[in-house]
Amino acid sequence: DVKVTQSSRYLVKRTGEKVFLECVQDMDHENMFWYRQDPGLGLRLIYFSYDVKMKEKGDIPEGYSVSREKKERFSLILESASTNQTSMYLCASQTERTTTNEKLFFGSGTQLSVL
Amino acid sequence: GDSVTQMEGPVTLSEEAFLTINCTYTATGYPSLFWYVQYPGEGLQLLLKATKADDKGSNKGFEATYRKETTSFHLEKGSVQVSDSAVYFCALSESRASGGSYIPTFGRGTSLIVHP
């Protein structure tokens, strides 16, 4: 089965720090995603990538950037962490198909606390 | 743009009760519809999906029917178990990327708590 691995389950950082969240998938999927999950707000898309070095902004990209240098790895970067970025971050991957019914495979999430 | 609206939770039921979680959507095209489930401490996983009108998705005793006339995809289960306690997300796919990939948009999630 597809495995999506997020490097940290829990992370505590200080305001102003640069933060890297790493995600690796092992099934050669073209598409990768970063979502944040907040109580009452559900999942909101930050960025996604449909190929190496290709990225598109999601619904809430402000304060974040991403990097995809290799197909299997998709990194989310908080250039200067702020307390309002305390959240659960979920990475997902998807086989690229021009059909509507391809599911996402999710990692277990990284709970980031910014103090 | 396209959107998904789910009933707010938490939904609290006793074991063996009937479950319905409402989901409605707005879309300009003909999206596929999904239910994902998130168990405590885990990421989301696909529960079921339907790709066209009147399709019924089913898995693990859960069912949902794609109703185009009412733009709905309600999740049902005839007899819930304690192990069904989780957060349930309704989602639809939409074309967003330059390459034509279909990207899911999620509802806010509905927490289900099942008591013994």
* Percentage of residues of chain B with pLDDT beyond 90: 72
* pLDDT score at A96: 66
* Predicted confidence (pLDDT) at residue A27 exceeds the cutoff of 70: yes
Which among B78, B96, B90 has a CA at the least distance from the CA of B37?
B90
Q: Which of A43, A100, A109 sits opposite B89 (nearest CB)?
A: A43
* Predicted confidence (pLDDT) at residue B108 exceeds the cutoff of 80: yes
Peptide bond into B104 cis (omega under 30): no
> Which residues on chain B place their C-beta less than 8 Å from a C-beta of chain A?
30-32, 34, 36, 41-46, 49, 51, 89, 93, 95-109
Task: Tell me the mean pLDDT in the region B71-84.
Answer: 97
Gap between the Cα atoms of B105 and A75, Å rounded = 21
- The Cα of A48 is separated from the nearest Cα of chain B by a number of Å equal to 9
* Predicted confidence (pLDDT) at residue B84 exceeds the cutoff of 70: yes
Chain B contact for A104, CB < 8 A?
A: yes
For B108, what's the count of Cα atoms within 13 Å in the CB-facing half-sphere?
Answer: 11
Task: Tell me the mean pLDDT in the region A5-28.
Answer: 95
**Do A100 and B32 make contact, defined as CB atoms within 8 angstroms?**
yes
- Judge contact between B80 and B61, C-beta under 8 A: no
